[in-house]
Amino acid sequence: MQITVYGATGTFGHHLVAHLRSRGHSVIAAHRGIGVDTYNGEGITEAAEGSDVLVDCVNRMTNNRHKALDFFSRSSRSIAMAAAENPGAAMVCLSIAFRPEVTRSKLLGYYQGKELQERVYRRLVPSDQLLVFRSAQWFELAQSMTIAAGPLAFVPKMVVRALAADEAARMMAEAIDSGERGTVEVAGPEISDMPSIAAAILGAGAGTAGRDGAVRDARDSEVSDGVGRGRRRRVPTVIPVPIPGPMSRDGLIPDSPRLSGVTLDEWLRTR
Ligand SMILES: NC(=O)c1ccc[n+]([C@@H]2O[C@H](COP(=O)([O-])OP(=O)(O)OC[C@H]3O[C@@H](n4cnc5c(N)ncnc54)[C@H](OP(=O)(O)O)[C@@H]3O)[C@@H](O)[C@H]2O)c1
């Protein structure tokens, strides 16, 4: 099949492209770098031409409700319009597994954007052509959520059933291959929380604090001592930050997801 992946360079998208290609599909890897902008509409239809499946895995990371609603509604609407110009093409929307109560919190504008994205696809794409693929949080998210301050790393105490982004992408590629439609939810083998995941990543030496406070791969952690030798930054101590509302309970835990068998420890060993 020919498959267009919007957001092909992202954390998820680059894994999906690799899985689809290894299954023998021809992939159009779309992103702004090649002139495809799902927000302003540029190049979307051209990237979709002749494709049997379109996948939306674009992202704008923001907790600002207005920005999240604006980005996800505009992007999904323009991709859905491109799908409509390819009669019979399947549409796959990558969303997040969350319970409805999560979107009621004013603090979580991002999830309101994702809810709207799902609604746009359900309204504009016929149900026999649509797969809404809802993934639980990824291990990688613990890295981007960590705010480091000297010897400390602050991580929100979200309860999650996380999995590796690569595993979510593998499961989506399988679902695309078998022509699935409707809603599929995927998650990891264990229920845990973000601070524990961040601590395991830091402890395994797979992530360290950058100057701007974000936690990065160990590759970025070497700092020069001025005489040509590198030294590792000190691994920060993780401080869980309590958060109000459903995300600290079961708001992000899907009811009966398809499970990845790859645990956090196994994922850390393969990085
Ligand atoms: N993080 C999690 O734990 C998690 C779990 C489940 C689901 N998800 C969902 O997975 C999706 C992908 O997340 P991610 O972390 O892989 O995203 P990401 O790493 O931030 O990558 C975003 C991708 O979107 C592209 N993009 C951004 N703005 C664009 C625009 N205006 N036009 C075209 N392409 C654009 C980026 O490419 P360029 O910048 O090159 O254009 C990049 O390829 C999101 O919708 C997110 O909600 C995330």
Rounded Cα distance, 4 and 79, in Å: 10
16 in any annotated domain: yes
12 in any annotated domain: yes
176 in any annotated domain: yes
Q: What is the residue with the minimal CA distance to atom 9 of ligand 1?
A: 95
Domain span at residue 173 reads 2-136+165-187+257-262
44 in any annotated domain: yes
- Mean pLDDT per 10-residue interval, the chain, length 271 residues: 98 98 98 97 97 98 94 98 94 96 83 96 97 98 92 96 98 98 98 97 68 43 44 81 91 96 96 84
Question: What CATH number corresponds to the domain at position 13?
Answer: 3.40.50.720
180 in any annotated domain: yes
pLDDT at 239: 97
Any atom of ligand 1 within 6 Å of the Cβ of 15:
no
pLDDT at 230: 53
230 Cα: distance to centroid of ligand 1 (angstroms)? 33
216 in any annotated domain: no
Any atom of ligand 1 within 6 Å of the Cβ of 12:
yes
Number of domains in the chain: 1
pLDDT at 259: 98
CA dihedral 188, 193, 195, 199 (to 10 degrees): -40
Any atom of ligand 1 within 6 Å of the Cβ of 254:
no
72 in any annotated domain: yes
pLDDT at 233: 60
71 in any annotated domain: yes
10 Cα: distance to centroid of ligand 1 (angstroms)? 5
